[in-house]
Amino acid sequence: MKKSIVEIPKADPQTDNDTRGVAIDHVGISNVCYPLLISGWDNSRQEIKEVSMSLKVSLAPNVRGIHMSRLLEGVHHWSGALSMDNMKDFLSMTRKQQDSLTATVDCRFTWFVERPTPKTELPAWQGIETTWHGHQDNEGSIIGYTLNIPVTTLCPCSREISDYGAHSQRGWVKVKLEWSADDKIICPQEIFDKLQHAGSAPIYPLLKRADERHVTMLAYQQPAFVEDTLRRAALTLQQDARVKRYELNICNEESIHTQCYR
């Protein structure tokens, strides 16, 4: 029996000329889960992480579409670990691959930092939501990272009006820092070490009794509204001359209110 062979036309509509005259700022893939070798916060270790990646490029007004599959091909065949140091090269590769004026990348993953208990000094690992991000055009490259740092906040009003005790909640210090790719990057570990104290007390993955006593007493001594946490974080960043620009978003997950304060 003869096998029939179906020939696929070699048409490529994506490269067709488009006459509508509309340029597109960003087109690409979003929130694609993929394993990727990541160079860590201080480049001291590399780990394969499951990342959620968004990768977008610009499209000229006379071109109908980008080669979507090539975006993931570029990620798959990227040589070595992705890091802040080579993000500029990664963006350049993506622009060249798509013949685009701009390229933008966001790479979200969980990075684990060693967090010993505050008093008993027992070792443990704490996961921190981390995003590498970058943008490149003909004028240069802007790269940076975002950290979502957990803290404890204790309500100043609750402490003042209560005969004893006070209610506390989980807070999140989300900080985004960006630089020109030619500037020196601040190690994320430094930012984490500083901003974990912006609330009433830091969060730890492991606490023994002596540690729990220390953390709860520290939080009681340092009550903080969400506004206090933001201002403490902002002043900490402003005192570092290396920080050129930043964004802060503080969120408290309230424990006795239904609303969430931001």
Residue 154's CATH number: 3.10.270.10
Residue 258: per-residue pLDDT: 72
DSSP run (H or E) holding 215? helix 209-221
Q: What are phi and psi for residue 234, nearest 5 degrees?
A: -65, -45
What CA–CA distances, in Å, run from 127 to 31, 54, 81? 20, 21, 20
* CA–CA gap between residue 54 and residue 109 (Å, rounded): 12
**With DSSP H G I counted as helix, E B as strand and the rest as coil, what are the percentages for the chain, rounded to 5?**
25, 40, 40
- Please report the sign of the dihedral spanned by the C-alpha atoms of residue 59, residue 62, residue 64, residue 68: negative
Residue 96: per-residue pLDDT: 95
The number of distinct structural domains making up the chain is 1
Residue 5: per-residue pLDDT: 66
Asked whether residue 8 is domain-assigned, the answer is no
- Grouping H, G, I as helix, E, B as strand and the rest as coil, residue 131 is strand
- What are the contacts of 214-219 at 24+ separation with CB within 8 A? 214/118, 214/119, 215/118, 215/152, 219/152, 219/153, 219/154, 219/168
The answer to whether 163 and 151 are in contact (CB under 8 A) is no
Asked whether residue 155 is domain-assigned, the answer is yes
Which structural domain, as residue segments, surrounds residue 124?
A: 24-261
Asked whether residue 30 is domain-assigned, the answer is yes
Asked whether residue 7 is domain-assigned, the answer is no
* CA–CA gap between residue 22 and residue 24 (Å, rounded): 7
The answer to whether 248 and 171 are in contact (CB under 8 A) is no
Asked whether residue 170 is domain-assigned, the answer is yes
Q: Count H helices and E strands in the chain, helices first.
A: 6, 9
Residue 255: per-residue pLDDT: 79
**How confident is the model over 22-36, as pLDDT tens digits?**
999 999 999 999 999
Q: What is the pLDDT along the chain (262 residues), one digit of tens a residue?
A: 566 666 666 666 666 788 999 999 999 999 999 999 999 887 778 999 999 999 999 999 999 999 999 999 999 999 889 998 899 999 999 999 999 999 999 999 999 999 999 999 999 999 999 999 999 999 999 999 999 999 999 999 999 999 888 889 999 999 999 999 889 889 999 999 999 999 999 999 999 999 999 999 999 999 999 999 999 999 999 999 999 899 999 999 887 877 666 6
Residue 4: per-residue pLDDT: 62
* CA–CA gap between residue 84 and residue 86 (Å, rounded): 6
Residue 40: per-residue pLDDT: 81
**How confident is the model over 168-186, as pLDDT tens digits?**
999 999 999 999 988 988 9
Helices 87-98 & 68-76 angle (0-180, nearest 10): 150
Q: Which two tokens stand for residue 137?
A: 């055009």
The answer to whether 195 and 176 are in contact (CB under 8 A) is no
DSSP run (H or E) holding 91? helix 87-98
Residues 6+ positions from 100 with CB-CB distance below 8 Å? 57, 58, 59, 60, 66, 94
Asked whether residue 248 is domain-assigned, the answer is yes
Asked whether residue 11 is domain-assigned, the answer is no
DSSP annotation of 82 reads B
Fill in the amino acid letter for 72.
Answer: L
Asked whether residue 9 is domain-assigned, the answer is no
